Structure 1
Amino acid sequence: MSIKKIILTGFLVLGFLLPGKAQKLQSYETPTQKLIYIQNSASYLVPHTARSFENAMQFHRRLWNYTPSESTAILFNDFTDYGNGGTMVIPWNMLNISVAPFDHSFGVIPSTERMQWLMEHELTHQVMCDQAARQDVFYRKILGGKVLPQAEMPLSMLYSYLTTPRWYSPRWYHEGIAVFMETWMSGGIGRVLGGYDEMVFRTMVHDSAYFYRPVGLQSEGTTIDFQVGVNAYLYGTRFISYLTKNYGTEKLLDFYRRDSKSKRFFSRQFKSVYNASLSEKWESWIAEEKANQQTILKRIAEHPVSQGRAITQNPLGSTGKAYYNAEKNLLYVPVNYPGKLAYIAAIDLATGAMHKIAPVVSPKLYSVTSMAWDKSSGNLFINNKNNDWRGLERITISTGKRKQLIRFTRTGDMVINPVDQSIWGIQTTNGRTALVRIPEPYNKIETLYTLEYTLTLFNLDISPDGKYLSATLAEVDGMEKLVLFNLSELLKGQHNYTVLFDFEDKGCSDFVFDAEGKYLYGTSYYTGVSNVFRIRVPDGDFQCITNALTGYFRPVPVNNDSLIAFRYTTGGMMPELLSAVPLENVNDIKWLGQDVYEANQEVVNWVLPPVSHVNMDSVTFKESTYHPFTQLKLASVYPILEGYKNLVGWGYHIHFMDRLAIHSLQLSASWSPYSFLPENERLHLALKWNFWKWSVLATWNKANFYDLFGPTKVSRKGYSLIASYHNYIRFHKPLTIDYKISGGMYGGLERMPGYQNITASSSELYLLMGNLHISHLRKSLGAVEPEQGFDWNVYVSGIYASNNLYPQLFTSLDAGVLLPLRNTSFWLRNAAGVSLHNDAGNSFNNYYFGGFGNNFIDYQAIGRYRNIESFPGLEINEAAGNHFIKTMGELNLRPLYFKEAGFIWLYVTYARLSLLGGGLYTMHNNWQNTGIYYNAGAQLDFDIVLFSLLKSTLSLGAARAWRPDHSSGNEFMISLKLL
């Protein structure tokens, strides 16, 4: 759903493909869709994806009486190892579709045909936001389209709401209906009828956990626990299911429908349909949920409930596959919980003590990372870049030393063959899964079995004697089977397998062999609850091992009598030692989705026909190369206000874009109608052009809206033309390396381009600058910004003015560490610079410092006190020098999240206090000091959300600066940052 994420995909991922390279963007276009992709081995899915789109779109048109505002662009890609989708409708309808198989951890996402399922879900988002009432259509016509909100143009936020009001609704609202539709359009295969969602709310009742209300869900509820943003899906789906169960599908459709009779804001529409406020019905849902789950818990407890011994004091958040070291009585497991950076832990089963072996620098949400343990060498093998194209690392347990073995394997579900120490895993590429082998010395990948697109393989394990490989085999109809391969046959190219047990659509997860290879232990929602089951090899005899009130996952056999499993709690996974003796009886339970179906059996009519029934022969289509340079079209045009020398100007902003936001052109023109202003300063123009990695900015009497709310001013008399090139050398988070080269000219200057209070030594200048940026930043769950790592910039610049060249070299290095206190970090932010010309008094040969830098209303970063030129407590540009050294210590305290601070349409999510203090040393060209300054201060930030998506920050700051001669200054700052 995120605009930023989808545009980031277009710029950073597609941006690596320069025009003219061998791989070009291709386009498959029909009257309703423009599917854009890279010609590669995944191209075979393009026709199927196009049919899946048509299949879902035809249904949505009928159900919602929906007419799209334009055709839908589909960015079809294989840029990650796990399938996902995203939707945007501003300024145009666009879907981002990743072809890789889904992550099936804990059975959160069902096993189903991916392209059709994604189209069902993502097109629901499009319909909810693109469908328009008459007044929406009116505003779209006069403003040139659906307006993309831009922080630099704050009035665009208002225009965006007027043209696309339902986009500005909370995430639970969007995801709730999308999950609901995806389930019934797939014939009941989806999260409305999913065991994981049911378990989450049953556990909340069991643990007496707090149920978030609508405001608190969007503030604290989607940030503070180990599932972070997933709560929007969970709560939204549950509430929408409750509404449908009790009030029917027609009211639900009326609630989400946008037509001339509907209300613009979603909560007003809710009250109009249900004759009660959203808060009232939300409370009714919570009461009913608690009562129903109490009944279910009592039903489960009719038979003895499994009682395990907790191994650790606290839950571990998300966990990956675990291994038991019997010799040392240790459990190796990847963990990721709020307030701590993800890592591989060694847990002492006797004491529960946890030891950090090594970090996991790019964890996945549910499974953290894929990990395999080689008993013979004592090494662990894990994935890095878990949210990208994965690579392979080896970790020495005794030292924690990490070594990258293969940069890109795209392989997970790893397991060691104990006979030859080879790594076996599942590789994801071109929309298919393949069983692969990585033999010692772990520098090459052997593909053994590539499955058809309709099949997915995951959850591997190998028997202790190295003869058999077990796996979960998922089919497109949602069915999952536990299967057994013979390794020797696989190595001969034979792909036959034995089905040990067919779990149908109840999930089959994390089955592993016991020490003797006699049984496989794993989990399934076979009874409606995720319990541990034991299956005998090779005859498939099936026995239940646990009777959980909440749910168990990732079992690890210890001996014939006991095993370790992870019990789901509201704080994450709790490792417990359990009996491995089979149970006689376990009750099954009923899910809320079953009640929804029984009360609304018309949802049977929502099931889509097979994709093969879609007749594309009668559809006109065109295949061609997609050239972003030729694809510009008008996105919007709207009135603006700008500030120039404390005066208000009126004008218009025109925005052109291509469908993928690769190519854009923006033009702003405004007029300051004041007779006392020189005539040649009344017109203000700005042209901004972006294409791939290139950008050009041209201005005439540059104006800026935020200059109306000083003290920082960026408007300037004169003209400028700046061209830039920005590229990434490496973009695999957390490590990124990029560079930027800029050059241009300024003319007619009164003030320095970067220093508002400094008179320019020449009215004309030419500028060339290069910047190298290296960043390795990490943050834990619940963080609001990076908490650990470093960020390093090196700049080289040269200004040519009045027949002189003024070169400068400066750098900044920020380094931070996460402290033991949750989400609390300490940073040292350092900078230094030299000027290489001998004219000490020339403004082009000096650096200038001072101030927080924030305006009363602003759009730039809230932490501008971190900028090189900032120094809170001094006036802006007060300190100057040809050379400088600057340092600052910063303590960022844990954010305080609010459960209920505001209203449905305006609320505060958190407050965070930062304490700062530092020093500045400036020097002349002869290295004699010109000034020594110290400061100390604080900044308090309140994160504010308007209309669910328009995030703002209210900042309050205070600082005192002083010199050794005891002269001092105070500064107080208040600023509201928009977007």
Structure 2
Amino acid sequence: MYKRIALLILILFPMLTRGQNQTYFQYRTDEATLVFFDKNQSRYIPHMMRNFQLGKALHQQIWTTDSVYQSEAPLLLLTDWEDDGNGGATPLPRSLIQIGMAPLNMSYYVAPSGERYRQLFKHEYTHTVMTDKYNLRDKHWRSLFGTKVCTDNTQPISALWSYLCVPRWYAPRWYHEGIACFMETWLGGGVGRALGGYDEMYFRSIIADGEKLFSVVGLETEGSTMDFQVGANAYLYGTRFVNYLTKNYGYDKLIAFYNRTADSRTFFGSQFKKIYGQPLRKVWDDWKQDEQHHQQANLAAIRQYPVTPTTPVTSKPLGSVSPLVYDSVSGKAYAAMNAPGKLAHITEIDLATGKQRKLHNLNGPTLYDPAYVALDTRHQRIIYTTNNGKWRGLEVYDLQQNRVVKRKNYQRIGNIVYDNTHDCLYGLLSNGGTQTVVRLDSNLENIEPIYAFPFGVSVFDVDVSHDGTWLSMTRQGDNGEHTLLLFNLQEFEQAIYKPVELVTWRDANLGQFRFSLDDQYLVGSSYYTGVSNLWQINIATRQMEMLTNANIGMFAPLEIQPGQLLALQFERDGMRPVTLKRQVVTDANAIKLYGQAAYEQNRDALEQVGLLRDSLPRIEFGDVYNHITPYHVLKEMRFAGAYPTISGFTDADSWNHVTPVLGYRLAVNDPVGLSSIRLSLGISPWSHNPWKNRLHADLEWQYYFWKLKAAWNHTDFYDLFGPRRTSRKGYTVGLSYDYTNSMISPYTREWGFSVDAYGDMDALPMYQEIAVNDVKSLQTASIYGKVSKLRKSLGGVMDEQGYQLGISGYGYLAGGTFYPSIEATGDFGTLVPFDRNTSFWLRTAAGHNFGDAQSVFGNTYLGGFRNNRVDYRDAFQYRTALAMPGADIDAIQAHSYAKATTELNLRPIRLNNFGALFCYPTWIQCSLFGTGLSAWNPGTKHQMYYSAGLQLSTELVFVNYLKTTLSVGLGHLFAPEGFAGGRHGNELMISLKLL
């Protein structure tokens, strides 16, 4: 037996060590290690490191110098996995900052920005300082464990150790993003969300409509789903509240609140009360009142002059909406939209009636501008981008055939516009942090690069003149200034690539400018007055004129008839299409930004924030290039800490009795996380088992998609709570490969296989209640494949529509006999029309065993909800193939089976301002289900089982990041005569899903 295991590992070990073909590179200094994936990007590394050093140096000047704290050299992960730039940071287990190279998405100028890498590093390094900075107490715990402990759902006690190591990580998102947006603004000389016109507009819309602001707890519950901005509300509210604290209590107190010092409190809420002398809830309510007064004053200032009248096109806002395109022949407009409770789609709007028609679902929408949309009037086609959160693709919808006629993946082209004069498509191609103007023929088959912008330059909002002469776009400068550019398309044909800089605004944005019908003007929007108003620029004279005095905000104007504009008007629940006259406005007031008030009260401090006291050393490209080395995953593996654990193991005095196991887990991994080893050792001193079964060891090595596992008397924490058990006596050795491809949203493809060997065991690996008496050692092999397209609308708590198809094979080799089996599953769901976020699903499964039905290895065993009372798996286990609520676990034997479950998931109830700062429920949801099972066993009558029930679930959040789900379920079984468990059975399930 042991020779077989050794031979198996020797055969497969070369495949394991080979891993992936992707080559990684690194540049290492005392301050940071930068890892990237393409050596051609090495020429950008000095720029990246310079901006990182600048962000770090500025933060070191701000936060109190503490001899206890020594900043950790973070890992800087440079990626090009999306076509919209982004950043992220985590302190666990080591400090890591991820920077997406692509230009930032500038839709509606939600996030004001200067040079993008400078801004991203200032923002993300704020998170690093806030979460990594420690005092003596935190340092003690980190030293004890040898690391900052990550939470691991297989060992939930790790959450306690993690909180002790990095307590400030476990704070709400508004807490983190509020200070990051504030610091990004003032470290950038006043360019950022703390002085953002979009934020101002959002809160003005709430006050103007007489709606309520979210409470500090309600923001994390109802506030993350109620309107179209979902989780982004954390940025809005967090930045606002930090501005309020600065304005009313001063900059120094704000720094004291966020700083982790020797005398600071561990929990952020306690620290707030220590610094400000009042509970956070009370000060948050004070801010809400102050916000209301501030916005009422702004509204009064706007209304001193006539507000521009508009005519709504639709009866209500549409949520997130892309700039509209318009067909003058049909009188219809087209856009991508995404609203709560509805799946993102391409919509057609009849401007005469306001009637909307859904054309096609939109895969992979982004938050504020779901997709880029272009209209080909000559061929009556809508061209739009898909997979917008990753590498963009293109789809073509034929308006005459009413269907999608072409799909092209991984084009990486956005900001598209169709030139109906020359029958071609223009757009911006993103690759490696650079942008290139490209042209595609009408078939979208040939991509022709036209003009490449230098690295770091961001351009957006492309349009083409009606006569096909000019191409316009906006360029963002290093300090946030915006310049409107014009390219002469005729000069392109003569290889002349010099853009005309039409106009530059240094203190305001220039967004979504498009040509007037006569091509004499560009018409767009700007927050020049603090309000997003519409403006026009005379191309010949370069004179700018204001077209609206908007109450809240106007965007994306398009002239549809001479003197008439179609635009998007902002409201709390999203953008609403409106029409208005194109008429010059001569009188309008500027409003006061909330961040401006914070600045005026702390002028000296905030002007010093972004000033560097000591110059940084110059970084030479040659020095960088000569020190770039390959990133070898195995060579980079380092000790990643160790901590005590507790788990459970089956005891000898009773099959249903589980004994505690005291243990210790240690980890080794590489900084990027491509390879990790976890070793757990334990002992069960109170067990009645023989001593050979009181010692426990589990080893897991994950390397890319490969996983090598070995165990002696495998333990499981959740076995302590039952009724489902996965701990097993004896040994197991296994190797598996699991591959997932989700590059095209929302499609996912998964496949994998595994081979395992077991010995000295007492139960089947998959079925805890099926004892193994005659065979003590066996081998198993499995293979599976799965495809899915699962979607949920804004505000949903689970997948609401789509399908998931899977097929798997499993086999035992026991006692010299092979017992193969096969199983297929198919789930199909759809949103129901009568209520938001309510879905109906049909879940099916069928399986057949080819082995001897008289052997325990030749059957499938079903039954039970299959949740543990404390669990880490998905809370809805009744959806799995082996579940049958009402029956005991593994009580139903089937040599072949077919099963179908119908399920109605009701709209979740969102809770607002219920709970404490450290613990609160977010939603309550009810699912109703009914299941039918056909079971076939040779020599017996075909049997039918039925089950009906419900499950009520609520999500609970502890210390803001530890999400758990409490579920209560009731299932009733209708069984055939002669069933061992009786014809009727009831099962009450109570389960708490941790982490």
- TM bracket (short chain): over 0.9
- Are residues 941 and 199 of structure 1, via their aligned partners in 2, closer, same or farther at CA, if it must alter by over 3 Å? same
Question: Could you say which residue in structure 1 is the equivalent of 2:801?
Answer: 788
Give the 5 Å matches for 1:25-44: 25-44=24-43
| Distance in 2 of aligned mates of 1:330 and 1:229 | 33
Question: Could you say which residue in structure 2 is the equivalent of 1:87?
Answer: 89
The one-letter amino acid of 2:796's match is A
1:299 aligns with 2:304: no
| Distance in 1 of aligned mates of 2:319 and 2:742 | 30
| Distance in 1 of aligned mates of 2:688 and 2:371 | 66
Unaligned runs of 5+ in 1: 1-15
Give the 5 Å matches for 1:951-962: 951-962=963-974
Return the offset for 1:46: 1.1
| Distance in 1 of aligned mates of 2:209 and 2:669 | 51
The 8 Å contact of residues 479 and 504 in structure 1, kept in 2 or not, is answered as: yes
Name the SS of the counterpart of 2:175 in structure 1.
helix
Name the SS of the counterpart of 1:307 in structure 2.
coil
The one-letter amino acid of 2:36's match is Y
Give the 5 Å matches for 1:876-915: 876-915=889-928
| Distance in 1 of aligned mates of 2:266 and 2:407 | 55
* CA deviation vs aligned residue, 1:719-748 (integer Å, no higher than 9, x gap): 111110122356322111121110010111
The one-letter amino acid of 1:854's match is N
1:631 aligns with 2:633: no
Return the offset for 1:537: 2.6
Question: Could you say which residue in structure 2 is the equivalent of 1:734?
Answer: 746
The 8 Å contact of residues 488 and 499 in structure 2, kept in 1 or not, is answered as: yes
| Distance in 2 of aligned mates of 1:543 and 1:243 | 37
The 8 Å contact of residues 936 and 959 in structure 1, kept in 2 or not, is answered as: yes
Name the SS of the counterpart of 1:894 in structure 2.
coil
Name the SS of the counterpart of 1:786 in structure 2.
coil
- Are residues 484 and 675 of structure 1, via their aligned partners in 2, closer, same or farther at CA, if it must alter by over 3 Å? closer
The one-letter amino acid of 1:836's match is F
Return the offset for 1:615: 3.0
Give the 5 Å matches for 1:111-510: 111-510=113-512
The 8 Å contact of residues 417 and 427 in structure 2, kept in 1 or not, is answered as: yes
1:713 to 720, 725, 749: 725
Question: Could you say which residue in structure 2 is the equivalent of 1:3?
Answer: none
The one-letter amino acid of 1:952's match is T
Return the offset for 1:243: 0.5
- Are residues 859 and 932 of structure 1, via their aligned partners in 2, closer, same or farther at CA, if it must alter by over 3 Å? same
Question: Could you say which residue in structure 1 is the equivalent of 2:756?
Answer: 744
Return the offset for 1:754: 0.9
Return the offset for 1:69: 4.8
- Are residues 68 and 559 of structure 1, via their aligned partners in 2, closer, same or farther at CA, if it must alter by over 3 Å? farther
Question: Could you say which residue in structure 1 is the equivalent of 2:692?
Answer: 680
Return the offset for 1:21: 6.6
| Distance in 2 of aligned mates of 1:247 and 1:545 | 39
1:968 to 968, 977, 984: 984
* CA deviation vs aligned residue, 1:347-399 (integer Å, no higher than 9, x gap): 11222111011111111101110110011111011111111111111111234
* CA deviation vs aligned residue, 1:168-191 (integer Å, no higher than 9, x gap): 000000000000000000100111
The 8 Å contact of residues 186 and 608 in structure 1, kept in 2 or not, is answered as: no
The 8 Å contact of residues 917 and 934 in structure 1, kept in 2 or not, is answered as: yes
Question: Could you say which residue in structure 1 is the equivalent of 2:57?
Answer: 58
- Are residues 151 and 63 of structure 1, via their aligned partners in 2, closer, same or farther at CA, if it must alter by over 3 Å? same
1:859 to 856, 863, 872: 872
1:561 aligns with 2:575: no
* CA deviation vs aligned residue, 1:267-288 (integer Å, no higher than 9, x gap): 1000000011101111111111
Question: Could you say which residue in structure 2 is the equivalent of 1:949?
Answer: 961
The one-letter amino acid of 1:548's match is A
Name the SS of the counterpart of 2:454 in structure 1.
coil
| Distance in 1 of aligned mates of 2:594 and 2:234 | 18
* CA deviation vs aligned residue, 1:41-62 (integer Å, no higher than 9, x gap): 3332111111111111122223
The one-letter amino acid of 2:497's match is H
Give the 5 Å matches for 1:756-905: 756-760=768-772, 762-820=775-833, 821-837=835-851, 839-905=852-918
Question: Could you say which residue in structure 2 is the equivalent of 1:570?
Answer: 572
| Distance in 2 of aligned mates of 1:111 and 1:373 | 30
Give the 5 Å matches for 1:648-727: 648-674=660-686, 676-727=688-739
Question: Could you say which residue in structure 2 is the equivalent of 1:6?
Answer: none
Name the SS of the counterpart of 2:634 in structure 1.
helix
The one-letter amino acid of 1:282's match is W
1:603 aligns with 2:606: yes
- Are residues 179 and 729 of structure 1, via their aligned partners in 2, closer, same or farther at CA, if it must alter by over 3 Å? closer
Return the offset for 1:835: 1.0
* CA deviation vs aligned residue, 1:914-969 (integer Å, no higher than 9, x gap): 1111111111257x655310010000110000000000000000010102549110
The one-letter amino acid of 1:826's match is F
Unaligned runs of 5+ in 2: 1-14, 651-657
* CA deviation vs aligned residue, 1:686-725 (integer Å, no higher than 9, x gap): 1111011110111111111111111111111111111101
Return the offset for 1:117: 0.9
The 8 Å contact of residues 16 and 706 in structure 2, kept in 1 or not, is answered as: no
The 8 Å contact of residues 448 and 493 in structure 1, kept in 2 or not, is answered as: no
| Distance in 1 of aligned mates of 2:640 and 2:887 | 43
Out of 494-503 and 168-177, give the one that drifted further. 494-503
Name the SS of the counterpart of 1:82 in structure 2.
coil
Identical-pair percentage? 38
| Distance in 1 of aligned mates of 2:494 and 2:804 | 50
The one-letter amino acid of 1:680's match is K
The 8 Å contact of residues 58 and 612 in structure 2, kept in 1 or not, is answered as: no
Return the offset for 1:540: 2.0
Out of 652-661 and 513-522, give the one that drifted further. 513-522
The 8 Å contact of residues 883 and 925 in structure 1, kept in 2 or not, is answered as: no
| Distance in 2 of aligned mates of 1:53 and 1:274 | 32
| Distance in 2 of aligned mates of 1:735 and 1:698 | 33
- Are residues 922 and 929 of structure 1, via their aligned partners in 2, closer, same or farther at CA, if it must alter by over 3 Å? farther
| Distance in 1 of aligned mates of 2:201 and 2:327 | 30
| Distance in 2 of aligned mates of 1:930 and 1:571 | 55
The 8 Å contact of residues 629 and 691 in structure 1, kept in 2 or not, is answered as: no
| Distance in 2 of aligned mates of 1:437 and 1:229 | 36
- Are residues 929 and 182 of structure 1, via their aligned partners in 2, closer, same or farther at CA, if it must alter by over 3 Å? farther
The 8 Å contact of residues 435 and 450 in structure 1, kept in 2 or not, is answered as: yes
The 8 Å contact of residues 51 and 614 in structure 1, kept in 2 or not, is answered as: no
Name the SS of the counterpart of 1:177 in structure 2.
helix
Return the offset for 1:584: 2.0
The 8 Å contact of residues 881 and 930 in structure 1, kept in 2 or not, is answered as: no
The 8 Å contact of residues 448 and 491 in structure 1, kept in 2 or not, is answered as: no
Return the offset for 1:136: 0.5
| Distance in 2 of aligned mates of 1:54 and 1:169 | 27
| Distance in 2 of aligned mates of 1:538 and 1:401 | 42
Question: Could you say which residue in structure 2 is the equivalent of 1:641?
Answer: 646
| Distance in 1 of aligned mates of 2:132 and 2:17 | 32
| Distance in 2 of aligned mates of 1:606 and 1:18 | 49
| Distance in 1 of aligned mates of 2:876 and 2:616 | 56
| Distance in 2 of aligned mates of 1:384 and 1:675 | 57
